[in-house]
Amino acid sequence: MLETKELFKSLNIKKEVKPLIEQAFIHSSFFYENKLSSGSNERLEFIGDAVLELWVSKTLFSVASLNEGKMTIIRAQFVCEKSFADLALFLNLDKYLKLGVGEEKMGGRKKASILADLFEAFVGALYLEYGYDFTFSFLDKHLKQQLYKLQLNKGPKNELQEYVQSDRRKSLRYEVLNSYGPANDKTFEVVVYLNDILLGKGKGTTKKIAEQNAAEDALGKLVKK
């Protein structure tokens, strides 16, 4: 089993590995199977999530060209399970994760939920053991470029999808309400629902354009511009 001091070396962290760092890599399945006394990484996830949201907010706020609406959208894209799971893999945290035998056999090392929790716990442990300045410097060095990539304009439809994706209870549905005009000059009217709530309407000369306009209308209602 790989030791966390090897991870510190690979990430150029010139610090002694402290107990909470070790705990960040202990999944609850490993904790219960081995009857450990130190605890799993579950509580560390809580503080890590708060630290990450603050870091993302602070980093985006430093970009003068981003308005409140755009910052909110980018933060929602970054602070979500899929993004955190990808970042755990990006930092190679998965190689040091301690799983129970059963969870390992069920492919737990590749589960997005477990990887996302690991990433949050690791950041939480960094904050608690080494403080605010060190943790934010670490995130700046290793993850700022990953965050800035999300500033690329992906279009209203994709932005709306990414804005709601962090809450798996929510889903988007587009419907063509009407279409009229000659075949070579049609106009489409499209509506978009968030679950069963009518959120936006749009028109366009193609269904795709109408969907983009409906998404933009919805974003305008969800996010204060």
Task: Write the DSSP symbol of residue 16.
Answer: P
49 is catalytic: yes
Residue 61 to residue 68: CA distance in whole angstroms: 9
φ, ψ for residue 216 (rounded to 5)? -65, -40
Residue 150 to residue 176: CA distance in whole angstroms: 30
CA angle 83, 132, 111 (to 5 degrees): 25
- Altogether, the residues listed in the chain come to a count of 225
Among residues 45, 49, 103, 159, the one annotated as catalytic is 49
Nearest in space to 138 (alpha carbons), one of 147, 129, 128, 126: 126
Among residues 45, 94, 120, 159, the one annotated as catalytic is 120
The HSE-up count of residue 139 (CA atoms within 13 Å, CB side) is 28
Contact predicate 80/53, CB 8 Å = no
Catalytic center residues: 49, 120
